[in-house]
Chain A
């Protein structure tokens, strides 16, 4: 028996990409401040984006996934890149590099957007937030672990002396996700329960000062918590002591985000795909669609008006066999029309699910396609995503 496809550990390397190879020798791996805690909890550690990370705990990927959808899961995402971008009118300056509407962002609010190259391809996708005090000279960023170095280089090179990048290397990042995450955090600060989706605020949890953002990567309600390296383990233990909370590894993180239709950089999006091809138009506001003014705007505005030749879609195999990343997609007549970019088994869906790019003529939900798995054509339907309804907090009204 030998693994031939591993959803979590494969990172496609492409010419020109500077992602850290996951096969980096163990002795060069970075560790997070929760490394000892992961090992004491019995985690299986794997190399990921240059870090030694927990892929699963003794509960296992399937049960960790289901627990997060039913209660609350704690994830170590300290490998992600946290940084502040500092400079006068920094929202205006950063808008020259991303298509997201940063000028409309209110104090303490977060936006999902993409760092673009001159061709309109994505260097990375990231979260951008305005400080709680509304300062116009500072933005908080969270970028992908494998993209940190190239992102920071791209930002500094494009912004020059208009901005200084302050890396928050002294901070860890934990994610508390699931329908009971709010009641868990409200035990320490009642106001956490009423925080709007995509907002942040400073909070004290059991004596530890942290910054809490109501967002995540599971499709569930939940939070990401930025905490100093020295306080990270104490905070993690405090949260794990809550009866609703189990530790969750990268394996379930991947199946949760796939069921929720969320893109994984380096797989579903990369420096060749535009936000329009990736079905991320919702992240570009009316003003930015009208004005442009971001890298690759000619291509992206043209794609908004005229459509794209390929587009990211959800795929639901009819049978039980999962179709993994790289699987060729054909029409029932045998014409190749695309490729799977993420695929596996959805524990909540209780069956195989995938996403990938197909020719736009084949992108309508209900279109029957074939997935070529081990030489056999398996039937699949194009479906609307997410596969599992997202349950973000939208207020009590």
Chain B
């Protein structure tokens, strides 16, 4: 089963079996503008739901990316080191930030599904 969930801070997390992939949404990349630097976590790093897990910087601002759920990083996206603008061009695909295992899969239940996130975006732009 593939299921994408969203945070209020505009991260997405896609569950594939026991593993999950994390990135930032198209809305997030459009708000940031031209992304010039991304720092992803190393394999084996423990991340905590709602705490900083990665960094993304545009020309004008630095932002923290939060872990949507708690768990352990299994892979950071090495492509983003040399091509951070991949996050602009393909935020939901090749621009993923890191893969992780989940400590408690039930934490996903507290996140928004696609319909809820779409409704939330309307409020963000209001």
Contacts and interface: CB of A to CB of B under 8 A. Distances in A.
Interface of A: 1-8, 55-56, 60-63, 65, 251-252, 254-255, 320-322, 324, 344-345, 347, 352, 374
**Chain A interface secondary structure, helix, strand, loop or mixed?**
mixed
Nearest to B7: A1
Contact of B60 (A2, A251, A320): A251
A374 B62 CA distance: 11
B118 interface: no
A8 B11 CA distance: 24
A32 B76 CA distance: 46
Given A1-B65, A62-B34, A322-B36, A344 B11 contact: no
Interface string B78-101: 000100100000000000000000
Given A1-B28, A2-B66, A321-B39, A56 B33 contact: yes
B95 to A, nearest CB: 13
Given A2-B64, A61-B58, 19 more contacts: A1-B9, A1-B10, A1-B11, A1-B64, A3-B61, A5-B61, A6-B61, A8-B61, A60-B34, A65-B59, A252-B59, A320-B81, A322-B37, A345-B36, A345-B37, A345-B59, A347-B59, A352-B37, A374-B55
Given A345-B36, A352-B37, A324 B62 contact: yes
A65 B36 CA distance: 14
Given A56-B33, A62-B34, A321-B37, A344 B60 contact: yes
Contacts of A65: 59
A264 B121 CA distance: 35
Interface string B21-55: 00010001000011011010000000000000001
A62 B59 contact: yes
Interface size range on B against A: 20 to 34
Interface core residue of B60, B62, B81 (most chain A CB under 10 Å):
B60
A252 B84 CA distance: 19
A56 B3 CA distance: 35
A75 to B, nearest CB: 15
B57 A345 contact: yes
B32 to A, nearest CB: 8
Chain A to chain B: the 4 pairs with minimum beta-carbon distance, closest first: A62-B34, A345-B36, A5-B62, A6-B61
B114 interface: no
Contacts of B81: 320
Contacts of B62: 3-6, 322, 324
A252 B66 CA distance: 28
A8 B37 contact: no
A255 B34 CA distance: 13
Contacts of A322: 36-37, 57, 62
7 contacts: A1-B63, A2-B63, A8-B60, A60-B33, A61-B34, A252-B59, A374-B39
B110 to A, nearest CB: 17
A159 to B, nearest CB: 38
A4 to B, nearest CB: 5
B66 A255 contact: no
Contacts of A255: 59-60
A328 B35 CA distance: 24
A6 B60 contact: yes
B123 to A, nearest CB: 17
B108 interface: no
Nearest to A374: B55
Contacts of A8: 60-61
B63 A4 contact: yes
A269 to B, nearest CB: 20
Contacts of A6: 60-62
A225 to B, nearest CB: 25
B56 interface: yes
A375 to B, nearest CB: 11
Contacts of B10: 1
Nearest to A7: B60
Given A61-B33, A320-B37, A1 B59 contact: no
